[in-house]
Structure 1
Amino acid sequence: MSSEAMVATSQPMATEAAIQVLRDGGNALDAAITASAVLGVVETYSSGIGGDCFILYHEASSGKLHAINGSGRSPAAATPQAIRDRGHDSMPEQGILSVSVPGAIDAWCSANEKLGNLAMKDLLAPAIHYATNGYVVSPVIASNWKPHEALLAQTEESARAYLLNGQAPRAGTIHRQPELAKTMAMIADKGRDAFYQGQIAEEIVRFSDSHNGLLSMDDFANHETEWVTPISADYRGYRVYEIPPNGQGITTLMALNILRQTELSNLPHLSADHIHLLSEAFTLSMAERDRFIADPDFKDIPVDLLLSDDFAKSQYNRINMSRALTQPVKSAMPKHKDTVYLSVVDKDRNACSFINSVFYSWGSGLVAGNTGINLQNRGSGFSLEDGHFNQLEPGKRPMHTIIPAMVYRDDKPLLSFGVMGGQYQAMGQTYVLSNWIDYGMDVQESLDAARFFLYDGQLSLEAPIGPDIQRQLASRGHRIVSGEESHGGGQIIYIDWENGVLHGGSDPRKDGMAAGY
């Protein structure tokens, strides 16, 4: 808890750097950019300047909630036939053909220019420091690094950046990224044009060409961040805001609308009924996501219909509390992987909900030439199927899993929060918010609570959910997977307006830390 300002991120180094920015006169947005830049160095398998970024920002002086879509588009040469001509019957999950134009840097610079207090060169300085001088690899980071040695060994550039003598760094070793440091210093000096029109873009395109990729200089020069209008839904008197499609935030809102049809708090927390109801509501919402959510520049998306009360009631009526849905729709999207989410509230009560991602662990698995940039694989979310809402087309943004959220009451922000973890993010947001609203948990308890995730017909339960509950769920037709992995990670800041206190929560499934002053 604190009274002045609060930062919550998945790494202490990022939290500490963001706190210093606030002390130096930066606002919540400035601090969030610094934290994200540091995370792109010290948690580079999850995030970085080769990825995309979405931002929700409450501007205290105007009371306005700004929404920023920093997702990149597919190359102009990207067509289903171009992918098939390169020997693929479906979108590759990783590799150069999975790479879309990274949107993070333009989003950071665009947001900073409009809303920030400090210069980008100051905001990037801590990340450049860690890339140059190194950081200590934690056990959590090391455990996420080791399984990907084979992927990172496939190219000289990624092996040079991320392996030591062919192996992932062990916990307690110091890792440096000198090439990335030089790239970030160029951005700090020359701004977004260094990335999208200068030497950095040229090197990425050269690297793409050398691997039979599709990226061009025009793809980078034509990239623009989009400032959008957030979408929202009421949940028991709280107004929940999300980024509109091509983001999947609408999935959270659909699930909350379904749950709003009943008094969820009457069900014991983590009982079989509780887990079953949330899982079914999320399954129905995911099915609609996979049918309809895509780039609105290419498809008309029925947002109003999907968020209507009548639709929510009809979805709720499809749920049988005694039996799991028998025909879950298999998602066309990959299951996971990695993202960083962070939240910042400053002394003026500007609030920033900020998410950055390269999608899978290590994104495409490729480092672009001598830039040190880990390129995202967001293009793997496209479909080659004719007529699919998310079909690959030139200059199109894929359906995006990364979703920052913010909760208001009486026109004031109460929660700035998000949950990491690919496909789990919308389910995680729904569950964490319900823990706080329906079950009266504080922000840390809401994150700590054992999680579950129904995906592609399997209900995965974290280890604390015991055998009796597992048997009850199995008797309803759920295919149970227990204890194999934890689900996601998250950060929350709650603004207690009455007492002037900020409450921060950070997920124990990560290295995270919430801190304030």
Structure 2
Amino acid sequence: MIATSHPLATSAGLGVLAEGGNAADAAICACAVQCVTDSHMTGIGGDCFVLYAPAGGEVRALNGSGVAPAAATPDALRERGITELAQTSPHSVTIPGAISAWCLLHDEYGTLPLDRLFAPAIRYAEEGFPITARVARDWAMSCDTLKPGDHAARLFLPGGHAPRAGAIMRQPLLAARLREIAAKGAAGFYTGETAAKMSRYLRELGGLHREQDFHDSMSIARWEKPISASYRGHEVLECGPNGQGLAALLILRILEGFEMGAQVPQADRIHLLAEATKLAYHHRDALIADPAHCEGIAQQLLSDQVVDGLRSRIDPSRATEPVLWTEAEHKDTIYLCVVDAEGNAISFINSIFHAFGSTLLDPETGVLFHSRGSSFRLDPSHPNAIGPGKRPMHTIIPGMLRENGRVTMPFGVMGGHYQAAGHASFLSAVLDRGLDIQAAMEEPRTFAFDGELQFEPGLPDDVRRDLESRGHRLVRAPGPIGGAQAIRIDGETGALIGASDSRKDGMAAGY
């Protein structure tokens, strides 16, 4: 079974599984398709994180996040008059790590050749693909970010406007890049003419990138040990820092001290989730960074001492301001999962961060660069300060659920900053209230972030009034909050139960 947020990606991945490919093969194939059909959300110029569970083996975490150029320091940027790392600045572009991750995953676990896995994506890029409804909506809402006359605007705003649903789009240069990677592996992206052109383009815009930065990043992806925490007798696994999976685990650890079952009023559950989210994100923003710059932070934050202290700060009747456990105050993505016939399971996420990433598209290579470097800080004392070869704090996080040592569900929630809160909310709905995974995805969502409690349509008026009376500032979300996919593995029968969030265009499919 495979579940993705785009129907063409699901069908392509299912075709790989039917042909005898495994979970890693299907995930790479499906993601490559979405790099073509969901270009405003993901691409080969982005980053990737994976949780991979070989049948009968230990879960492995793959960190495919890119690093800052060797010349990137707070001082170097200040000398250039840079006071913020804006989305559309070349300084928000770290060396993309996705292709390094794909190739490492394929080298170790793939069974079908890359040219077969990329074939559907190449075909859609060359011959064209239809814009789906949700993609068309997001495209239209995000196109103001694209600057008239820029290379990205010329490609993504044909005729000067966002394409409508059903319109046919092509990206021949992206097809050429995929053919090159299929033939040469990661070297086809990080070395040679492609790397020279990408580095030259970013440098001409004022970036600090050099060709050597791309060469050095060919093997930047690396396998790591996942982090985990228990929730209601289940083990939740996440990728460690520099991802925000730690924030998801911290929310769950805090919530485990409260009753969150179906008998608890909806307003109470939303309030507790909001308060736990504020505490966890406050710590995320202050402490999570490149793993070399926040060693031991996962063990520290998930300890009983810290969790008990944070939990005690939640007032069930009032919305409060978050503080760090030390008491010191410091003032857009695709996800897919696959389970194959042998029982291998993969949780896979790939992103360019903001809609259309940095909006910087190299006209010679067709690569649209992500904006992940905008998560860095310019304060040299901050653990997430920009620095040579550093990975920034990341919002994209794949998840995995395990019970008694057996993987029971790869899952993920899209939506930028929402993802950690989304993991906790989704798992609570499944494990606390017994909802099936599709129903858990379909519930109206809320998200406490940046001083607001955003909510989706469908939240009852009396619940909204209750939350406002506790001090929450409710704001209607400007659009759907995130999306999700999951595949639950029945422990008794081995049956696979897939779900794909209706907020997106995707689907789950199996055979």
1:115 to 2:109 alignment: yes
- After superposition, what is the alpha-carbon deviation per residue over 1:178-225, rounded to whole angstroms, capped at 9, x for unaligned? 111111111111111010112211110111122111111111111121
2:9 aligned residue: 14
- After superposition, what is the alpha-carbon deviation per residue over 1:117-166, rounded to whole angstroms, capped at 9, x for unaligned? 11111111111111001111122111111233343344542133212122
**How far does residue 266 in structure 1 lie from its aligned partner after superposition?**
5.9
Measure the CA separation in 2 of the matches of 1:428 and 1:111: 26
- Listed as ranges, the gaps of 5+ residues in structure 1 are 1-5
Query: Which among 268, 279, 282 is matched to residue 284 of structure 1?
Result: 279
Counterpart of 2:17 in 1: which secondary structure?
A: helix
1:229 aligned residue: 225
1:254 to 2:250 alignment: yes
- After superposition, what is the alpha-carbon deviation per residue over 1:249-290, rounded to whole angstroms, capped at 9, x for unaligned? 011111111111122216536x21111011101111111111
What fraction of aligned residue pairs are identical, expressed as a percent? 46
The 8 Å contact of residues 204 and 369 in structure 1, kept in 2 or not, is answered as no
The 8 Å contact of residues 17 and 340 in structure 2, kept in 1 or not, is answered as yes
The 8 Å contact of residues 279 and 322 in structure 2, kept in 1 or not, is answered as no
Change (3 A) 1:266 1:443: closer
The 8 Å contact of residues 293 and 301 in structure 1, kept in 2 or not, is answered as no
Measure the CA separation in 2 of the matches of 1:245 and 1:327: 21
1:34 aligned residue: 29
The 8 Å contact of residues 87 and 357 in structure 2, kept in 1 or not, is answered as no
Instruction: Tell me which amino acid in the other structure corresponds to 1:196.
Output: Y
Q: Map residues 262-341 of structure 1 onto 2, 5 A cutoff.
A: 262-265=258-261, 267-268=263-264, 271-326=266-321, 338-341=332-335
RMSD: 1.6
**How far does residue 327 in structure 1 lie from its aligned partner after superposition?**
5.3
Measure the CA separation in 2 of the matches of 1:47 and 1:186: 19
1:403 to 2:397 alignment: yes
Measure the CA separation in 1 of the matches of 2:33 and 2:485: 16
2:52 aligned residue: 57
Query: Which among 409, 418, 425 is matched to residue 412 of structure 2?
Result: 418
Instruction: Tell me which amino acid in the other structure corresponds to 1:259.
Output: L
Instruction: Tell me which amino acid in the other structure corresponds to 2:187.
Output: D
1:463 aligned residue: 457
Q: How many residues align?
A: 505
Stretch moving more, 138-147 or 431-440 = 138-147
Per the normalisation by structure 1, the TM-score is 0.95
- Listed as ranges, the gaps of 5+ residues in structure 2 are none
Counterpart of 1:64 in 2: which secondary structure?
A: coil
2:466 aligned residue: 472
Q: Map residues 33-432 of structure 1 onto 2, 5 A cutoff.
A: 33-60=28-55, 62-223=56-217, 224-265=220-261, 267-268=263-264, 271-326=266-321, 338-432=332-426
Per the normalisation by structure 2, the TM-score is 0.96
Measure the CA separation in 2 of the matches of 1:340 and 1:326: 32
Counterpart of 2:280 in 1: which secondary structure?
A: helix
Measure the CA separation in 1 of the matches of 2:477 and 2:120: 37
Stretch moving more, 256-265 or 300-309 = 300-309
Measure the CA separation in 2 of the matches of 1:104 and 1:302: 25
The 8 Å contact of residues 353 and 370 in structure 2, kept in 1 or not, is answered as yes
Change (3 A) 1:327 1:249: closer
**How far does residue 497 in structure 1 lie from its aligned partner after superposition?**
2.3
Measure the CA separation in 2 of the matches of 1:485 and 1:147: 10
**How far does residue 319 in structure 1 lie from its aligned partner after superposition?**
0.4
Measure the CA separation in 2 of the matches of 1:483 and 1:185: 40
Counterpart of 1:263 in 2: which secondary structure?
A: coil
Instruction: Tell me which amino acid in the other structure corresponds to 1:386.
Output: P
Measure the CA separation in 2 of the matches of 1:512 and 1:268: 32
The 8 Å contact of residues 241 and 289 in structure 2, kept in 1 or not, is answered as yes
- After superposition, what is the alpha-carbon deviation per residue over 1:41-88, rounded to whole angstroms, capped at 9, x for unaligned? 00010001000000001100x422111000000011111132223332
Instruction: Tell me which amino acid in the other structure corresponds to 2:260.
Output: L
Stretch moving more, 207-216 or 440-449 = 207-216
The 8 Å contact of residues 83 and 91 in structure 1, kept in 2 or not, is answered as no
Counterpart of 1:454 in 2: which secondary structure?
A: strand
The 8 Å contact of residues 438 and 501 in structure 2, kept in 1 or not, is answered as yes
The 8 Å contact of residues 27 and 338 in structure 2, kept in 1 or not, is answered as yes
Change (3 A) 1:415 1:332: farther
Stretch moving more, 16-25 or 365-374 = 365-374
Measure the CA separation in 2 of the matches of 1:327 and 1:293: 16
The 8 Å contact of residues 336 and 348 in structure 2, kept in 1 or not, is answered as yes
